[in-house]
Chain A
Amino acid sequence: MEEQSLNLVKQSFKEFYFKHSDYVETPLRIEEREFGYMQFDNGMVRHLSFKDKGELNVHLVKYIPSDVYCSCAYYINPTAPIQEKIFKGADLIFDIDADELSLTCMKEHEVWICNNCGNVMTLKQNCTKCESVKIEKVSLACDNCIDAAKKEVKKLVSLLHEDLGIQEKEIKIYFSGNHGFHLHVYSKELEQLEAPSRADIADYVAGNNLIPEAVGIRRNSKSVREVISRFPTIDDIGWRGRIARVLMKDNKERPRIVKRILKNGYSQFKEELNRIARESGAHIDPKVTMDIHRVFRLQGTINSKSGLAKVPCNNIDDFDPFTSACVLAEDQVNVHVRYSPKFRLRENSFGPFKEQTIRLPTYAAVYLICKGLATAV
């Protein structure tokens, strides 16, 4: 980011942390957490710890980080190097990103930016100005993206609740500050689990690695009668019931379905099963859930990929990130926009823009600068 833009962004972040420190949440058991932050021009700082919210706030205003992170883990020595921290437990976390959902609206609001000269292109190609191959995708999420991500959140919550027995009050949902949602699960029983068990949970909610045997289909299965005795009904609990409800409307259809499966064979059913399971499961990033030593974006801080904040969604259906997470100031500033699709923030619609200098509210200007589409003038 060149200097003038950097100053604008930093100034707006500073004002936010100064005036709205109440947004920043104090994580549970703050003194057992590791904190880290990204600096605008100086890389990552990790292994910090704060004993309370006051200490944390002072730090934020003083250093004005571009991004603030907090461990999902609880440690005995949060500031020690990783091997000596001593793991006590960790919240179970999930990351849902609209960018990963292969949505058709993507092509309307994704652009490609040359990392070398900043040229913005609507197609994925080598830079048309400097021929550099280092190009990066940038997307301005739309309402459709958010709705799709919300659907995944709801699937995830119901799997966690109905199957894994996690109480709804143990689940906190946040808008991630960019294109998606973060779920934090605070459960005494699950916090002890190590990485392999968390990988298992991630696979469970995503419907990964389901095998035909789990619904009674074996490699050498031939007899319909034999298979039916093991085949799920639509009233079954867990994944078996979920699969059955996709395969049929009524239990009377079971013989017909089983016959069809046996006719097509094990391998073909395996593919079908995996397709059904992936669609019924929640699209999460399993790496995030598995990693117990990850530092994860802190609730109530600003995401420097957008200038939007990570904020709680208490009612997912009504939640509008473009209003709730848009927390920066309103004062008008001048920016030069290289290119931007249409986007909405608060009640206002902006763009599309192309190579023009305009006056925008700070929150919208910072949004475009953070996305790499504009510069301060």
Chain B
Amino acid sequence: MSKIEFGKGDLAKYPFLTEAGQYLKELDYSLAEFDEQSKMHVIERAYERIITALDGNIYRELDDLDTEVVSFLIALIMVRALGVRSVSRKYSLGEARRTEMFLEQELKHESEERMRAILTGIFNDLFSIDVIQENGKFKVKVADYLKRASYFHDNHWKLVNRTVNNGFVYLNSDETVRLIRDELTLYIYDKINKMELRQLPEAIKTKVNELRNRVVKDAEFKRYFTTTKYPPCVEHVLQVLSKGENPPHSARFLLATYMLSIGKTVDEVCNFFEAAPDYNERVTRYQVEHLTGMRGSGTKYTCPSCEKVASDNNCYRTEECDGIVNPVRFGRGRVGSGRAKPESG
């Protein structure tokens, strides 16, 4: 099948498409130009995109092509420069939700040809999922469906509650779009991490600082910066992860169960694993939920004892470990009671 070109107007809606990058090259933007007053509005727009996403909202503006495509790219640069992973994730999710909104509208109202452009250009090219139209409905292969929907929570997504026939699962337009949300998010997240940070113009640097102040003031993010003292074994896993290496299974298990038992949420625990080279959001989330007993057998897993941690070769005992038998007791003395106090902010 020949590739269907997206029109320029589409790029404002889908600025992550490779065509958008080419368009920029044609325009020959250079970053230095952003110190000029005339470009300030684009930087402001980029900032707005990020803030909207961080507030959990969808950025709905759809102005001219230049503003949308360029502000998207500047936003990627700013988020990359900020270097706070949780912000990168939230921003990616925000952009994915925006895309979802446009896709939903289009799959409901657009012409056959337009629809085909989207199904081919986004679903197939970016995420290798074949979506077939059939009498106003959409259908995808069972395997393509399960790889995604088996990780969604709602019963409504369980295969048994779908119409399934001859190897295909039937979906309406909104459901079809929802299926790729995680991949869209990852795709944008990946774009952020691939952004090159050469010499940033002052105007962008200033805006990044503004963003940093705002984000750090935000109580929710503050927690990520507060360095709590973790036991040496847990610190070690975090170090391995921060070097971008894959810790062994036993170490991941230790990290996850430790963090859950000191009161971290599933989200927070998943965040720790983001840096791992083999990171896969759906699978990680599923596994962490499994540990909490939300999934599968319902068994709640607790943090392994120091003895077990040592036998797995994950113990890095220091003086501060004195006398404890389980990493969760680290820093809380030999005896004591209650759950970990929330970290002070």
**A interface residues, Cβ below 8 angstroms from B:** 83, 162-166, 189-190, 192-194, 196-197, 199-201, 203-204, 207-211, 213-214, 236-240, 277
- Bound complex: CA of A203 vs CA of B286, how far in Å? 18
**B interface residues, Cβ below 8 angstroms from A:** 141-143, 146-147, 149-151, 155-156, 158-168, 248-250, 283, 286
Asked whether, in the complex, the Cβ of A238 is within 8 Å of the Cβ of B163, the reply is yes
Which residues of chain A are within 8 angstroms of B142 by Cβ–Cβ distance? 164-165, 189-190
Give 6 nearest A-B pairs by CB, closest first.
A165-B167, A197-B146, A237-B165, A214-B161, A197-B150, A83-B249
Asked whether, in the complex, the Cβ of B150 is within 8 Å of the Cβ of A163, the reply is no
Which residues of chain A are within 8 angstroms of B249 by Cβ–Cβ distance? 83
- Bound complex: CA of A117 vs CA of B166, how far in Å? 54
Residue of B nearest to A166 (CB): B167
Asked whether, in the complex, the Cβ of B164 is within 8 Å of the Cβ of A204, the reply is yes
Which residues of chain A are within 8 angstroms of B161 by Cβ–Cβ distance? 209-211, 213-214, 239
Which residues of chain A are within 8 angstroms of B165 by Cβ–Cβ distance? 162-163, 165, 237-238
Residue of B nearest to A208 (CB): B160
Asked whether, in the complex, the Cβ of B159 is within 8 Å of the Cβ of A193, the reply is no
Min Cβ gap B153→A in Å is 11
Which residues of chain A are within 8 angstroms of B159 by Cβ–Cβ distance? 200-201, 203-204
Which residues of chain A are within 8 angstroms of B160 by Cβ–Cβ distance? 200, 203-204, 207-210, 214, 239, 277
Min Cβ gap A171→B in Å is 13
Min Cβ gap A3→B in Å is 37
Which residues of chain A are within 8 angstroms of B149 by Cβ–Cβ distance? 200
Min Cβ gap A189→B in Å is 4
Min Cβ gap A198→B in Å is 8
Asked whether, in the complex, the Cβ of A165 is within 8 Å of the Cβ of B248, the reply is no
- Name the one of A164, A196, A199, A240 contacting B167, with C-beta atoms under 8 angstroms: A164
Known interface pairs A83-B249, A193-B143; A164-B150 also in contact (CB < 8 Å): no
Asked whether, in the complex, the Cβ of B283 is within 8 Å of the Cβ of A194, the reply is yes
Which residues of chain A are within 8 angstroms of B155 by Cβ–Cβ distance? 209, 211
- Bound complex: CA of A207 vs CA of B248, how far in Å? 37
Min Cβ gap A331→B in Å is 47
Known interface pairs A164-B142, A207-B160; A196-B166 also in contact (CB < 8 Å): no
A-B contact pairs, 17 of them (CB 8 A): A83-B248, A83-B249, A83-B250, A162-B165, A164-B167, A165-B165, A165-B166, A193-B146, A197-B150, A199-B150, A203-B158, A210-B161, A211-B155, A211-B156, A211-B161, A214-B161, A238-B163
Residue of A nearest to B156 (CB): A213
Min Cβ gap B76→A in Å is 31
